[in-house]
Amino acid sequence: MPNVSIKEVARLADVSIATVSRSINNPEQVTEKTRLKVQDAIAKTGYSPNKLAQNFRRGRTNMVMVVLPSVGDPFFTAVMKGIRAAARNKGYSVVIEETQLNTLTADEIGAMLVSNQTDGIILLASVSPFGTEISSAKSHRQLPIVIGCETISPELADFPSVHIDNIAAAKEATNYLISQGHKRIAMIYGQESSLLTKDRELGYRAAMKQAKLPIADGWVVEGELTIAGARKATRNLMSHNDRPTAIFCANDEMAIGCLHEVKSAGLSVPEDVSVIGFDDIRYAEVTDPPLTTISQPAEEIGERVMYRLCRRIDAGNGTSSAPEIVPHKLVIRQSVAKPAN
């Protein structure tokens, strides 16, 4: 059917033109039944919206930028899978900026948005690459930014976010170790500058305080969020005369390094030392032993943060900036056991 109009699609689907438009551009705003009716009508008529013309009229690039700490991090790989799925559904392409390779300023971000290089930004970085400049920048620019996974610093508090409750999750992980009878529990956190792992440290300390358990000097050590950093931290912990019987790691990559180093010291996991991680990356269930960890719904976070950015792009600052907290889950495997007598 040549030169089919959206009006013909609406007639065939028995819906309004506005509903057809929403089904194409904002599918999450219509029911599944309606979306399928519209899709069926589009398939039968051969209707194809002119995306280039739509973008020109709206002043859009249909490009979004994702800022993340490392493209090789398996957790963020899963988050990106969700972002890309939602982006495809909304007709967006995704570009990635890795903070390890380049630090962006608020002025550079603003220039990208004002010059239409990108329609919006998803910030997944543990440390804001924009610094405190962004708080002044947002007063004179409309910045479509949504933050995913991360604890929000005061200067970014006005931007919407999607993440788990990191304090509660870390507290649950520590309480699980306590419930197994552990009293000497150490923690390997990420980086001094990471707000995210600071929240996980707060949860660990809260659980220890509530259980009236002491935290010995040198039992909270930095692991740099890497396997190598965690191996060094574990060697430090294993050198204590009264070494810990359990170690809580602020991410799974550090937990994997910790597992390796405990074994290198001639000890067994979990018979001599229990290890618990955070994130439930794809390698967690195939480590030796399989890793007990806190699971984040990484793909779901990616999808939610992308859809929220789309609403921010479409509606500007009229959308809610309230944080969206998604549930975490403790996944029990074989890396934790009761302490040896």
Q: Looking at the domain 6-49, which fold is it? A: 434 Repressor (Amino-terminal Domain) (1.10.260)
In the chain, what percentage of residues exceed pLDDT 70?
80
Please indicate whether the domains covering 60-163+298-326 and 166-295 agree at the CATH topology level.
Answer: yes
Pairing state of beta strands 292-295 and 329-331?
Answer: antiparallel
Helix crossing, 252-264 with 74-90: angle to 10°? 160
Across residues 246-253, what is the average pLDDT? Answer: 97
282 within 8 A of 74, measured Cβ to Cβ: yes
Instruction: Residue 83: name the closest of 114, 38, 112, 120 by CA.
Output: 120
Q: Count each helix (H run) and each strand (E run) in the chain, helices first.
A: 12, 12
For residue 101, pLDDT over 50 is answered with no
Is 50 exceeded by the pLDDT of residue 57?
no
Q: Which of 291, 296, 285 is nearest to 257 (CA)?
A: 291
76/302 Cα distance (integer angstroms): 9
CATH class of 60-163+298-326: alpha beta
Q: How confident is the model at residue 139 (pLDDT cuts 50, 70, 90)?
A: very low
- Asked if pLDDT for residue 181 goes beyond 80, the answer is yes
Asked if the model's pLDDT at residue 1 lies above 50, the reply is no
The CATH H-level (homologous superfamily) assignment of domain 166-295 is: Response regulator (3.40.50.2300)
For residues 131 and 253, the model is more confident at 253
pLDDT above 60 for 105: no
Q: What is the pLDDT of residues 202-235, one digit of tens each?
A: 999 999 999 999 999 999 999 988 999 999 999 9
Residue spans per domain, the chain: 6-49, 60-163+298-326, 166-295
C-beta separation of 153 from 194 below 8 A: no
Task: Judge whether residue 59 has pLDDT over 90.
Answer: no
- pLDDT at residue 131 greater than cutoff 70: no
